[in-house]
Amino acid sequence: DGWCRWKLIPSPVPAEDLDRQEQETGCRFPVLLRAFFSAYCHYFMDCGLGTQKPDKPFSDLDNAWNPVLVRGGYLPFLWDEDLGCFIRCIDLANMPDEDRCPVVQIDHEILFDLGERADREALAPHMEPVAESLQAFLEELFSGWTAFRGKKLARRYVEGLREAYEDAGGKEVWAEFAGAAHGVSEAHLTALKTLYPELPASLEALLRIYDGTYYQEYRPGQTTCLYFLGSDMEEYPYYLLSAAQMVKTDRDFKEWGDYLIDREYDDIPVPEGVTHDLESLRWLHFSDCMNNGGTSQLFIDFSPSEKGKTGQVVRFTHDPDELVVVADSFSEYLELLMDNEYDFINEDTVEE
């Protein structure tokens, strides 16, 4: 009745059921996978591990099963619909050495295009690495839940953005960007996290995919500018700053935005959740609007008032000046953009 926490309950799966499932599946299960099925029933949809219901403990396994994969030496055990319908598998080539049996995934559309006669040689080039083993896969989920969810959200966001560009006639624009762009260097990421240890996992994950889209020089002599983000302002596009740009502009707002934090003008709206203390202000500047930031900028607020939330996303808009809290967190902000179906990407913005 209403919202509640899911409770882990003991699994009703005995060894003979696992033996029977192995026979039906046509694969010998790693010992760790057998232990996972026989330990607890669970509901781990949020972290991409699916469900195990007491009445249907092998439903995810049955749903992912594919004879082509099994013949190729892969054990499909999970269908991850959130990341574009990938089928996740355990590569059984090195069994019984489970530490050398990696978790991999394949796009279901590629799998179906390969046809029913595809063998391991045909499958292997399309298998994307997920983890070096099932144990590593589970440890990543359970020891780094926040980081995993942030990574998953970032990948889902980027995939949706790519589709938005293609739907708006910008397939070549995206392909040119994706072909040149790369993730942030460890040095630049470390510098950013030194300033902001609370850096949201989803923003870090985005930077690890693409380190900015605002006058970023991924190739010598070639400057990249690509609309990557939006806000609560309908159809208004923004760029993603690189980690180095975020560090460089760290104190900029503090120098020119004092009149907003000090509430110098009664006719400029400032949310109650924004602090009054300029000295303690810690705002991560992560985005400039299409007008080179002159009209609007986006910040992550790590120093809110008692009525605000740490990590809230704040939008500044000029002429008329205002501050608006767009979302309570960066992840919630990305969800907002996805819920709005990337409305900042259209034929007009693609052509620009």
17 class by beta-carbon count within 10 Å (0-12 exposed, 13-18 middle, 19+ buried): middle
DSSP 226-256: ---B--SSTT--EEEPPHHHHHHTTTHHHHH
Calpha distance 304→312 (Å, rounded) = 8
Q: Report CA torsion sign: 68, 73, 79, 81.
A: negative
pLDDT at 5 over 60: yes
Provide the whole-model pTM: 0.67
pLDDT at 41 over 80: yes
pLDDT, mean of residues 272-287: 96
| pLDDT of res. 60 | 87
pLDDT at 144 over 80: no
Q: How far apart are the first and last CA of the chain?
A: 50
| pLDDT of res. 44 | 77
Q: How many alpha carbons lie under 13 Å from residue 42 in its C-beta half-sphere? A: 14
Q: Which of these ranges, 35-39, 75-79, 141-145, has the smallest mean pLDDT?
A: 141-145
| pLDDT of res. 25 | 87
| pLDDT of res. 134 | 93
pLDDT at 124 over 90: yes
pLDDT tens for each residue of 161-216: 999 999 999 999 999 999 999 999 999 999 999 999 999 999 999 999 999 999 99
Q: In the structure encoding, which two tokens stand for residue 36, read together?
A: 């996972």
| pLDDT of res. 150 | 87
Closest Cα to residue 37, out of 1, 73, 10? 10
pLDDT tens for each residue of 79-119: 875 555 889 999 999 999 999 999 999 988 899 999 999 99
The percentage of the chain sitting over the pLDDT mark of 70, rounded to a whole number, equals: 96
pLDDT at 1 over 60: no
| pLDDT of res. 242 | 97
351 class by beta-carbon count within 10 Å (0-12 exposed, 13-18 middle, 19+ buried): exposed
pLDDT at 3 over 80: no
| pLDDT of res. 84 | 53
pLDDT at 142 over 70: yes
Residue identified by tokens 């935005």 is 257
pLDDT tens for each residue of 21-33: 999 988 889 999 9
| pLDDT of res. 293 | 67
Mean pLDDT estimate for the chain = 91
